Copies of this chain bind each other. A is one copy, B any other.
Amino acid sequence: MEDYRFSDHQLYDRLVKHAQTMHGDDHHLRQLIKADQRMAEFSAIGGGIFFDYSRQRVDASTMRLLLALADAAAVMDQFADMASGKKVNVTENRAALHMAARSFSDVPVRLDGRDVKPDLKCVLEEIRTFSETVHRGETTGSTGQAFRHVVVVGIGGSYLGTEFVARALEAFADKGISLEFLANVDVHNFGCIWSRIQAEQTLWIIISKSYTTAETMANEDLIRRYMDASGLDPSKHLVTVTSKGSPGDQGAGQGLAAFHMFDFIGGRYSVSSAVGGVPLSLYLGYERFERFLKGAEEMDRHALEAAPTQNLPLIAALLSVWNTSFLGYPQTAIIPYASPLCKLAPHVQQLNMESNGKSVDSAGRLLAEPAGTVIFGEPGTNAQHSFFQLAHQGKAFPIDFIGVLNPQYQMDEGSFKGVGHQQELWANMLAQATALASGRKSENPAKSFSGNRPSSSIVLENLDPENVGRLLAFYEARTIYEAFIWGINPFDQFGVELGKLTAGTIRSEMAARNQNPGHDFAALDPINRAYLQMLFKGKFPG
């Protein structure tokens, strides 16, 4: 394993060669999907999810080679190492134990010899107790009114996963509490939320591991001043989710409660921790949050234990690497045919692109080619009426279709053209996957469809909390398996440092000008100098 390098491995070369044969006309998806056993051979059920890759551009040889590569990279051993508390985040010397946050078994998970599960369990109990006292109206704001609005104050990994789960389970939100997200330092974001809420009925959840995140701290400051100015006691309207001992963990006086997060769970993997637990328990009730965790746990066990040939996240990861590094697709779309999953693509966009958008391997050596892929998406059928023109006749990209057998709403759907809404939705999802794969020849090039455009289909039996947990855990495990195949570390993010550093320089120049109206930004390059002049004038030059 130590000398595994993705693009140096002999299986890499074999896969490059093999990809050439897959470009042949006899390997067009139109041909491949004709085989009677195609779907049986290229699909699997596991962890509560059905995964069909019969419309990916693979054959039995492809899968053999890819699975051999996974074996060469010892990806399942690495996954087990991660689960057992080894410091797989080597660059930051940290473990990656998001799965421990949803492990309800008695098996300890030791980090530096100490079981982390009691601490996690303790936080979970605090979340349960706190959310229940809020729901019973025992914990209130400073005027004694019950909380009706909860605002998550956090950015990136501190809100995207929670937003995905909250939207997915909105149909279950029966606690009379609305959930808003204040992520951006953009004053429009605060202004808009402030105009929507009643301050005396609002609970703010400030989420930051270090309690130094610039956007979140600037918003915390704004919130305290606005609550104060409204005659409310901010400390009675605020809880924090932060590391033990951080500036956000200062006990009574600061807020109603502080829920701990741990450095062995990274932001983009943190929805199962207090980061998701506090807001989701308030919004949906603790029981539903626990059901969500148990669904995720089921998928974790599958990812950890299922044989490679039946292991959904591993197979999905191999297909990502195949599509990206061997077939050369530069992006992947996620198209859920279920409106409640509307925030899945933005969540996976962060989860995956921040984890795997890297140029160095785990040992810090430059990769032959950067890893990772761009991820984007919108729900179907909406996407069909938006960018599917390009999906069919522009440059091709692979798609994850996601279908749900039984919707959350049992409506009287009636019958339009002989089918109900749910059936119409499915007819469209299946039709898109079929049309993209098969294409259609026509004398008229404008009406020709080259086809051979790959997709996977992921099916859930319904959209209950367990299944949303399974889906989240599937994409987490897939992301990590991808990283292990590419040989990179999915848990660090040094790529965000330079921007922060540069922002600091520009911020200092602004602060100097705020102090001294004569300050001329001479320390900056000419372009940024011109921009600061424009910004301080509030209008275009000239």
The contact string, 1 if C-beta is below 8 Å from chain B, for chain A 18-45, is 0000000000000001101011000001
**Which of A138-146, A155-163, A298-306, A309-317 lies at the interface?**
A155-163
By the criterion CB–CB under 8 Å, are A389 and B357 in contact?
yes
Q: Which residues of B contact A10 (CB under 8 A)?
A: none
Q: In residues 320-344 of chain A, which contact B (Cβ within 8 Å)?
A: 330-331, 337-340
By the criterion CB–CB under 8 Å, are B395 and A156 in contact?
no
For the complex formed, measure the closest distance between the CB of A224 and the CB atoms of chain B, giving whole angstroms.
9
By the criterion CB–CB under 8 Å, are A384 and B496 in contact?
yes
Q: Which residues of B contact A391 (CB under 8 A)?
A: 357, 495
By the criterion CB–CB under 8 Å, are B192 and A434 in contact?
no
Q: Which residues of B contact A497 (CB under 8 A)?
A: 447
Known contacts A187-B411, A496-B392, A503-B427, A360 near B418 by CB under 8 Å: no
Q: Which residues of B contact A447 (CB under 8 A)?
A: 494, 497
Task: List 9 extra interface pairs beyond A353-B386, A435-B499, CB under 8 A.
Answer: A185-B381, A188-B408, A191-B411, A222-B414, A267-B385, A391-B495, A392-B495, A427-B503, A430-B531
By the criterion CB–CB under 8 Å, are A386 and B156 in contact?
yes
Q: In residues 392-443 of chain A, which contact B (Cβ within 8 Å)?
A: 392-395, 397, 405-409, 411-428, 430-432, 434-436, 439-440
Known contacts A390-B495, A525-B434, A540-B50, A407 near B531 by CB under 8 Å: no
By the criterion CB–CB under 8 Å, are A405 and B539 in contact?
yes
The contact string, 1 if C-beta is below 8 Å from chain B, for chain A 365-385, is 110011110111011111011
A contact face: mostly helix, strand, loop, or mixed: helix
A190 close to B (CB within 8 Å): yes
For the complex formed, measure the closest distance between the CB of A344 and the CB atoms of chain B, giving whole angstroms.
13
For the complex formed, measure the closest distance between the CB of A170 and the CB atoms of chain B, giving whole angstroms.
7
Q: Which residues of B contact A214 (CB under 8 A)?
A: 416-417, 424
For the complex formed, measure the closest distance between the CB of A488 and the CB atoms of chain B, giving whole angstroms.
10
A218 close to B (CB within 8 Å): yes
For the complex formed, measure the closest distance between the CB of A153 and the CB atoms of chain B, giving whole angstroms.
13
**Copies of the protein in its oligomer:** 2
A: interface residue count bin: 35 or more
User: How distant is the Cα of A540 from the Cα of B496 in the complex, in angstroms?
Assistant: 42
For the complex formed, measure the closest distance between the CB of A29 and the CB atoms of chain B, giving whole angstroms.
11
**Which of A68-76, A94-102, A507-515 lies at the interface?**
A507-515
A113 close to B (CB within 8 Å): no
Interface centre among A218, A386, A426 (most CB of B within 10 A): A386
By the criterion CB–CB under 8 Å, are A350 and B185 in contact?
no
Q: In residues 215-238 of chain A, which contact B (Cβ within 8 Å)?
A: 215, 217-218, 221-222, 225-226, 229
Known contacts A188-B408, A365-B445, A503-B427, A359 near B221 by CB under 8 Å: no
Residue in contact with A222 in the complex, picked from B364, B392, B408, B413, CB distance below 8 Å: B413
The contact string, 1 if C-beta is below 8 Å from chain B, for chain A 97-122, is 00000000000000000000000000
A542 close to B (CB within 8 Å): yes
By the criterion CB–CB under 8 Å, are B190 and A411 in contact?
yes
Q: Which residues of B contact A430 (CB under 8 A)?
A: 502-503, 506, 528, 531-532
For the complex formed, measure the closest distance between the CB of A448 and the CB atoms of chain B, giving whole angstroms.
8
Known contacts A184-B379, A353-B387, A527 near B55 by CB under 8 Å: yes
User: How distant is the Cα of A503 from the Cα of B418 in the complex, in angstroms?
Assistant: 13
User: How distant is the Cα of A532 from the Cα of B427 in the complex, in angstroms?
Assistant: 9
A80 close to B (CB within 8 Å): no
The contact string, 1 if C-beta is below 8 Å from chain B, for chain A 119-150, is 00000000000000000000000000000000
